[in-house]
Amino acid sequence: MTRVLVINGSPSKREQSYSGAVTDLFLDKYHQLHPHDEIINLDLNDLPLAHQTLDRHNSSSYWKEVLPLIEQLKKVEKVVCVSPMNNFNVSGLMKNYLDHVLLADQTFSYKYSKKGEAIGLLKNLVVQIITTQGAPLGWYPFGNHTAFLEGTWAFMGAKINHPSLLLAGTKVAPLKEQTPEVAAQTLLPEIDKALKTF
């Protein structure tokens, strides 16, 4: 049995969440293919650490509580990482989560000596990225939260499953006139491709 950790970084209410709708569609189809796999849901809205930002006042204690999160990553085989775009990057919830689990000698080894010498330690993971954004792809080239997530997980040693699933343009027609569930259906061909290797 494969264990799949679903990390939900969307601060939106469930009924308004495009990333939630894409994730539900992806997981429904995944379950049809892998009915015995265990799905573990981690909603960052409910995780106190995901609301903590690193600052000068907590830098000495910031990482003390993160080992259970890192152990959780080490005990699963697959991760579904879900984030909308908030102000041209991942949500604050997702950024805070990543800031906690990106810990030297736990999820990566980095000796600050030469370019390219970082070694990701989460080589057991395959990660499926699911992202959404209000603007169509390319409207703001400096904002690419999908690539940020791909690079961050790859830095930790994970294999990125392709294609990453991006639902772009949710704030403009025609998607803004559709429910999240209907809009998510437009990604079905990409979801089918991703499921072949996830």
Residue numbering of the annotated binding site: 10, 17-19
Spatial CB neighbours of 58, under 8 Å, sequence gap ≥ 6: 52
Angstrom CA distances, 13 to 8, 45, 139, 198, stand at 12, 10, 25, 27
- Report the Cα 23 to chain-centroid distance in Å: 11
Place of tokens 């990453």: 164
What letter represents residue 46's amino acid?
D
Report how far residue 49's alpha carbon sits from residue 54's, in angstroms, rounded to the nearest whole number.
10
Task: Please state the residue numbers annotated as binding site for FMN.
Answer: 10, 17-19
Contact (Cβ atoms closer than 8 angstroms) between residue 82 and residue 9: yes
Q: How many residues does the chain have?
A: 198
Tokens for 56, please give them. Answer: 């000068």
